[in-house]
Structure formats: C-alpha cells, structure tokens
C-alpha cells in the first residue's frame, strides 16, 4: 500500500476512535433516562387496605388522612418490582406524581383557602420515596373534582363558551371535566386560584431538603391545554357540524383586538380578505354553517373546512414496503407529498391482520387558491419505477354567493395502475366524502389562528407563573397533546399547534399513545420543529400483536435524547376499590395480568428495559 494511503487510513482510524470516544463520553455525561410511570393511589395507606370491611376508596383515603398515613410504602414496593435494588444505571425507574392544583382548596369562613395538609401529604410521599419523580401540576379541564369546582362552574368568566353562550357539559369515561377559560386575565377567579396554588406549592418544594429536590426530574405544566368540543370522549375526528370554543364576550373582544394588531386598519382587512366591514367592532367571530343558516356577511361562515384546508386522508397497510412514497395531485398537477405512517389505532383494533397502528396518511390541501368548480384529488403511490392510484375523490369549491358552479373539464394523472395490484397493499380513503363542498372564508382562517394563540398565551402565562414562583427553568416541561399525529383527528377542534414549537420558552412535553410512541412521522415533526430536549408525560403503545414493540418504542426515545417518559398508568389501589366497569382508560392499567391493549407486555418491557 502506498505510504500516503497508509497515512490516510491511520488518520481515519484515529478520527474514528476519537469520534467513538467523544460519543461514549457524551453517553456517560447524559443524565439517566427516567421511566416515570403515572401511579394511581399514591396517597392510599397500607393500613386502610388491610381492613377488609373498608369497601370505599373515599373512606380509605379519609382513614389515611386522619392518621397522617400515605401510600409511600406501596409506591416503593411497586417501583422496586420494576427495578429491583433502587434507581441506578443509564435507565432508571421513578414515578409521576400528579397534583391537581384546584383540588388543594377547602372552604373556610373567610372563603376558599389552600389546605396545607393536602400539600403535606403530597410532599410527604415525595420525601419518603427514594426515586426520581416527575411532578405534574394539573390545572386543565381534568382538574375538576375539588370542592371549589362547583363554584367556579357557576361563574361564566371561568369557562369557555360555545356560540350560544353556554359552556360545554363534558365528561371523559364518567369523569367530569371542566372547559376552563384560556384567558390570561389574572382577575378571573379560576386563574387566581390556579396561580396562587402553583406559587404556594412551589414555595413548599423550595423548602424541601436539597436531596429531595434533586430527585425531581421535571415539572410538567398545566396538562393538555387546548380548546374544547362536544363529545370529548369520541369527537376528536368530527368534521361534520362541528362546534368549537371560545365565543365568550371577552374572547370575541380579544379576537377583534387581534385582528386590529394583524391588519392595522379595517381598510387593509377588507382589502386582504375581500370582506366588507365598517369597523373591527362590527366583526363577529365566524360561527354559522352557510349550508344551513342565513348569514348577514360571508365572514360569519364556519365549518371544518372554512379556513381553506381540506384533509385528503385515509389509511394504508403495506406490510411488504412495496410503496416508496405517496403524492397528491389535484386536477392532474402535483401538489406535494402525502405524509404517511401516522397513528390509526382504530384500524389496528379493527383489522386482525394489521400489526402496526402507523397506517394513516394525510395531506391538508390548501384549496384557498383554487377556482370555484369541481376538482379531482388523486393520491398516487410510487413503487419502483411505476405509479399507482391509491385513491381519488372529487370535491367542489363553491363561490361565496353560492352561485352555480360551472362544469370543468376533468383533468387527471394519466396511465396509473391500480394500487390493488401491489402485493399485500390495502388502503382506504376516509376524507373527504365524495363531492364535499367547501367555502373558503379568510376570517375563519384568522379565527383558527387566534384560537391557537389563546392556547399558546395561556401556557406561556402558566410557564411565567412557574418561573416567578422560583421553579428551575431547566425542569419546566409542557404536557401537550399532538393532534396531527392521529391522521383521522380534526386539529382545528384542539387549536394547540402553536404550543408545539421547539422555539417555545418551555421544554416540550409531548403525550404519545398508540403508534405515536414509535413514529417516523413524529420524529420528523420534532426535527422540523427543532424539538430536542423533551419529555413524554403520557406514554402507552397500546399494542399486542408483535413482540418487541414496547422495547423499541422506549429505545427510540432514549436514542432521541428524551429526559423521561411517563408510562400511563400503574395503580396501587386494590381491585375491590375500583368497581367492575371497564372503559378505555382502565384497559391501560399496566400489570402482568392485564392483556388488554398489551398492558401486560408493556409491564414486562419496562422491567426488562430498566436493567439497561
């Protein structure tokens, strides 16, 4: 070998060794990856459980509280089963402790006051359990069972409203939830109580011994903040006759101010939107369906497509990976790629032969620039050197005056083969329905953007409360849902998109269920949004058809640099206190004798992965 090649090889080897040493050093220096399961019943004491005559969980909690007993021993036993010998190594087992901030209040002769005993018992468990902990400050719609809730519910200022001026009456598998306002007005009672509780608990935490404080890995803030909609349990994918929040007078007034800031003058607003309003004060928030209701101005129109986007979405099962890409064509012209591999847990549940929930595909088509008339959308699959039609659907762009739609010459991508010819490929187009009519209203687009800004502003405000209370900035994470990872959901119902950027002042905490727990789409989403240092405050693959799924999901987040994941959920509450009703939540209880949703497999995978 020539001398210069020997030299180059030697230099390359030295560079490789240096790189490996650097990577090893980085691995050694990174903090442990914490598996911090959410644990139900952490305040339930052994002494109450030991009394067979005690049948009610509320009775048991009262027994423990009166005797200043808690569930620290039971919680420690559970975590020791998952990781015997205590937390050590690159992967460690801790737990997530949920604290409902509004639940801390009690009624006194002087009004509502924080009950120090409730905070004592919560911090007592954290002090006693020698494990890493993620503290979840719950203050969203799930913080709804404390005695103060009923008073808050009666004051309209505290709640988001539908267009009829009424708040939603909601529950989640029998658990009442409250559509608390997203206003940042500190004078609103629910905001005052949430802020004061957060500050009180933060001051108490800062007085804990440093060894206890050091075990706190993260604080997740507020919970899943988003707008609300009817049928909260099942309505995430609603597209017909949707209802959204927040039409309260204060919210609509702020919308008008948002428009003033965006457009400066009503003349500029009218010019850019093609609408005609005498002043910003004359603008009503869009809320009427043009198909069914009389409008005084086209700007009042609102439905799932009014903001100018039409989802082209369905599912694709391609077990042999015959397809390399999907593209969307409209009227024979390429629009762009169709992302696929999104979560469709419903398809996974329904079809025994489909062994991954990551089958969804979706492209949100911006139709706002299309001329009125009938248009053809085609989803085209590329396999090798050939192209195949996976799906096609016609839709109709209707003019504002609902005038006659001129017939247009049908243009399409020529010479496509049928995707059914590809071995193993199965697919279905869910949206839109054939000849879906759509009416673009620029004011509806503004309304949706404004609603997203409301969610962002409230989370930003909550983050500022935490900072002012003295909680460490490097441990503050959000606790947010990612609606778009579920290709059949309607993200406009949630309006949470602005909170998910890596440029936000908090660290991102992204909840993941089903295929989202190990998703190429979600990894790409995080890369595009520059999300690196993150946590997963709720995590459950909900799968049972393939081996190794749960280990692979945890490893993917270890590799991506996640600080923690919080498997949802474990319980130390005996079965006799739980009742016999089964619903979508308790299917996910992680225990070795619960095969539903693969819960037993996830349990075993945690035990195995904690040995790392």
Could you read off the pLDDT of 110-141 as tens digits, one per residue?
999 999 999 999 999 999 999 999 999 999 99
Nearest C-alpha neighbor of 43 from the set 108, 99, 102: 99
Could you read off the pLDDT of 331-366 as tens digits, one per residue?
999 999 999 999 999 999 999 999 999 999 999 999
Contact 340, 448 (CB under 8 A): no
How far is the C-alpha of 181 from the C-alpha of 161, rounded, in Å?
A: 9
Could you read off the pLDDT of 570-602 as tens digits, one per residue?
999 999 998 766 666 889 999 999 999 999 999
Quick one: pLDDT at residue 17? 36
Nearest C-alpha neighbor of 51 from the set 43, 60, 42: 60
- Strand partners for 512: 539
Residue the block writes with tokens 């459980």: 49
Mean pLDDT of the chain: 93
3-state secondary structure of 503: coil
Quick one: pLDDT at residue 24? 43
Could you read off the pLDDT of 493-507 as tens digits, one per residue?
999 999 999 999 999
Average pLDDT over residues 3-32: 47
Q: How far is CA 98 from the centre of its chain?
A: 17
Percent of the chain at pLDDT exceeding 90: 89
- With 60 as the cut, is the pLDDT of residue 27 above it? no
- With 70 as the cut, is the pLDDT of residue 22 above it? no
- Strand partners for 340: 361
Q: Is 502 exposed, middle or buried (0-12, 13-18, 19+ CB in 10 A)?
A: middle
Average pLDDT over residues 303-330: 98
Quick one: pLDDT at residue 4? 28
Quick one: pLDDT at residue 10? 40
Q: Which tokens go with 364?
A: 């949100």
Average pLDDT over residues 199-217: 98
Quick one: pLDDT at residue 581? 62
Cα–Cα distances in angstroms (integers) from residue 90 to residues 87, 94, 411, 427, 510, in the given order: 9, 13, 58, 41, 22
- Strand partners for 34: 92, 564
Could you read off the pLDDT of 67-103 as tens digits, one per residue?
999 999 999 999 999 999 999 999 999 999 999 999 9
Percent of the chain at pLDDT exceeding 70: 94
Quick one: pLDDT at residue 366? 98
SS3 of 338-384: CCEEEECHHHHHHCCCCCCCEEEEEEEEECCCCCCEEEEEEEEEEEC
Quick one: pLDDT at residue 580? 66
State the number of CA atoms in the 13 A half-sphere of 114 facing the CB: 19
Residue the block writes with tokens 């991506």: 560
Residue the block writes with tokens 């006759």: 241
How far is the C-alpha of 519 from the C-alpha of 460, rounded, in Å?
A: 28
Read off the pLDDT band of 29 (50, 70, 90).
confident
H or E element, residue 586: none
- With 50 as the cut, is the pLDDT of residue 1 above it? no
- The answer to which of 1-15, 17-31, 57-71 has the lowest mean pLDDT is 1-15
How far is the C-alpha of 234 from the C-alpha of 505, rounded, in Å?
A: 32
């Amino acid at each position: 070998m020539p001398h210069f090649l020997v030299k180059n090889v030697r230099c390359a080897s030295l560079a490789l060794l240096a790189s490996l040493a650097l990577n090893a050093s980085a691995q050694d220096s990174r903090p442990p990856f914490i598996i911090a399961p959410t644990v139900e019943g952490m305040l339930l004491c052994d002494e109450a459980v030991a009394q067979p005559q005690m049948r009610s969980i509320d009775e048991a909690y009262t027994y423990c509280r009166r005797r200043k007993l808690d569930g620290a021993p039971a919680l420690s036993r559970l975590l020791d089963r998952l990781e015997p010998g205590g937390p050590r190594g690159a992967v460690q087992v801790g737990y997530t402790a949920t604290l409902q901030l509004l639940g801390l209040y009690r009624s006194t002769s002087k009004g509502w006051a924080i009950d120090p005993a409730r905070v004592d018992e919560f911090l007592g468990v954290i002090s006693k359990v020698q494990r890493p902990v993620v503290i979840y400050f719950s203050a969203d719609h799930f913080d709804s069972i404390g005695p103060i809730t009923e008073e808050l519910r009666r004051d309209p200022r505290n709640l988001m409203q539908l267009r009829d001026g009424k708040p939603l009456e909601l529950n989640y598998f029998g658990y009442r939830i409250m559509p608390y306002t997203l206003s940042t007005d500190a004078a609103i009672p629910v905001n005052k109580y949430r802020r004061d509780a957060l500050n009180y608990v933060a001051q108490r935490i800062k007085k804990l011994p440093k060894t206890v404080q050091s075990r706190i890995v993260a604080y997740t803030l507020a919970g899943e903040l988003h707008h609300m909609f009817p049928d909260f349990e099942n309505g995430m994918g609603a597209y017909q006759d949707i209802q959204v929040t927040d039409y309260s007078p204060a919210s609509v007034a702020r919308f008008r101010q948002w428009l003033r800031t965006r457009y400066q003058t009503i003349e500029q607003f009218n010019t850019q939107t093609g609408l005609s309003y005498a002043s910003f004060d004359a603008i009503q928030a869009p809320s009427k369906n043009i198909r069914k209701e009389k409008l005084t101005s086209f700007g009042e129109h609102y439905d799932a497509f009014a903001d100018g986007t039409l989802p082209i979405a369905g599912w694709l099962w391609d077990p042999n990976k015959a397809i390399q890409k999907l593209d969307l064509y409209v009227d024979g012209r390429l629009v762009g790629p169709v992302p696929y591999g999104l979560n469709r847990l419903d398809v996974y549940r329904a079809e025994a032969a489909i062994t991954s929930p990551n089958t969804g595909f979706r492209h949100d088509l911006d139709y706002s620039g299309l001329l009125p008339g009938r248009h053809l959308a085609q989803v085209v699959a590329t396999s090798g050197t050939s192209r195949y039609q996976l799906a096609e659907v016609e839709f109709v762009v209707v003019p504002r005056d609902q005038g006659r739609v001129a017939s247009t010459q049908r243009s399409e991508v020529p010479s496509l083969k049928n995707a059914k010819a590809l071995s193993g490929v199965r697919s279905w187009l869910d949206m839109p329905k054939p000849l879906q009519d759509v009416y673009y209203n620029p004011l509806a687009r503004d309304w949706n953007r404004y609603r997203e800004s409301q969610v962002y502003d409230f989370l930003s405000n909550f983050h500022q409360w935490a900072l002012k209370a003295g909680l460490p900035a490097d441990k503050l994470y959000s606790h947010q849902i990612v609606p778009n990872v579920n290709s059949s959901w309607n993200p406009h119902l949630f309006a949470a998109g602005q909170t998910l950027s890596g440029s936000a002042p908090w660290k991102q905490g992204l909840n993941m269920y089903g295929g989202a727990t190990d998703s190429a789409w979600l990894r790409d989403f995080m890369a595009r949004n520059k999300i690196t240092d993150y946590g997963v405050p709720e995590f459950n693959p909900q799968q049972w058809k393939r081996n190794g799924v749960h280990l692979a999901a945890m490893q993917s987040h270890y590799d991506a640099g996640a600080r923690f994941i919080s498997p949802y959920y474990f319980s130390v509450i005996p079965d006799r206190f739980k009742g016999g009703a089964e619903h979508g939540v308790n299917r996910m209880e992680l225990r070795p004798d619960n095969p539903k949703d693969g819960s037993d497999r996830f349990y075993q995978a945690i035990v195995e992965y904690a040995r790392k």
